[in-house]
Chain A
Amino acid sequence: MKRILFTLAGTVLLATIAGLALETASAADAPAESLKAPAAFESIKDKDARSVALFEEMGKVFTHPRCSNCHPRGDSPRQGMAMHIHQPPVVRGAGGMGAPGMRCSTCHGKENMPFVTGEGSIPGNPAWRLAPAEQGWVGKSLAQICQQLKDPERSHMTLAELQKHNASDGLVGWGWHPGKGRQPAPGSQTLFGELTQAWIDTGARCPQ
């Protein structure tokens, strides 16, 4: 009897995690959210207000699950549009690349790979890893995210380096090319880079 119960429990567990892994299949069909270009903010005459508005537009990307899932607070990445805890269970580990025996590279390869089951895909990128713990922002307000991005102790970047990161980093860019079964980040990486530059040019103001 005990054996039957264990087997049933195992079946239910596997079905549940498979469901979690594939839950974004319908979201993949949803169109990506739009992102306004910097020109759309030129009508805001007050420079500080324009800067804040630009950051709030950038915030659509920062807080999108494609980006936030790898900026967790704590040691567990998130997954899916619902941002549930990553399945299978994994931890941050050294360099944000997982634990011995279960690194990110155990499952994530150099590129997205469609599942052989025909539904969804596993994401991949040569640099696949978590953002530094100091750059975790799941659940934080845009004001808090803005402050930590501007704090070099936590962002490990100057504003110029942040612009380059947003505009051309390959792993950031994956957010707009996430593969079958995932909604891309809003807009495009080019637009995100342009918004970041415009935000810096207007004084890099943060929302209150």
Chain B
Amino acid sequence: MAVNFTLNGKPVSADVDPETPLLWVIRDTFRLTGTKFGCGIAQCGACTVHLNGLTRRSCVTPVSQVGGGTVTTIEGLDGPEAKAIQDAWVDIDVPQCGFCQSGQVMSAIALLREIPKPSDENINQAMGGNICRCATYVRIRKAIHNAADTLASTAEG
């Protein structure tokens, strides 16, 4: 059965079992391998994408649930929040091994789109489901604050 949706701004069609996890479709059907398989049970956040603008763990999302919707992966990020986060990540070298980082970035951007100047508590609540085995949490928090400052200065600018 074909499932139609928008992937990174382009209409796509996947002829797969409707119960296939979205993560499989993203990686195997469309060869977008930036989104990672971590735990497979929605406990680590490595597979986070945006579905209709909100964070979604693609390893526990049947592709049938996406039909007609809009999916954005790490490869398709765009906009001021995405640029601010990417710049902040690079500026302070957030990643260590990097495996979890696409999920971290997806969650961080979703947070900034809703809360442009997040508190530590906002960050804890939004990012608590994204695990980093290298424990880069301190740098992740700092990068989110830096990105928020960049967005604020751009807006004032």
One digit per residue, 1 when the CB lies within 8 angstroms of any chain A CB and 0 when it does not, for chain B 24-62 equals 100000000000000111111100100000111101111
Write out the residue numbers on chain B whose beta carbons fall within 8 Å of the beta carbon of A107: 42, 57, 60, 129
Q: A88-B128, A106-B56, A116-B21 in contact; A99/B122 too (CB < 8 A)?
A: yes
A175 interface residue per 8 A CB criterion: no
A-B contact count (CB 8 A): 111
Interface centre among B24, B42, B65, B127 (most CB of A within 10 A): B42
Interface size bucket, A side?
35 or more
Q: Which among B71-79, B86-94, B106-114, B145-153 touches the partner chain? A: B106-114
A37 interface residue per 8 A CB criterion: no
A190 interface residue per 8 A CB criterion: no
In A16-37, the 8 Å CB interface with B consists of 17-18, 21-22
**B60, A113: Cβ atoms under 8 Å?**
yes
A110 interface residue per 8 A CB criterion: yes
**B43, A18: Cβ atoms under 8 Å?**
yes
Which 5 A-B pairs give the minimum distances between C-beta atoms? A101-B126, A10-B133, A88-B129, A99-B125, A101-B111
List, sorted by A's number, 24 A–B pairs whose CB atoms are closer than 8 Å. A10-B131, A10-B132, A10-B133, A11-B133, A14-B39, A14-B44, A18-B39, A21-B41, A22-B41, A88-B45, A90-B128, A99-B122, A99-B126, A100-B110, A101-B55, A101-B108, A101-B114, A103-B54, A105-B56, A106-B54, A109-B62, A113-B19, A116-B59, A122-B42
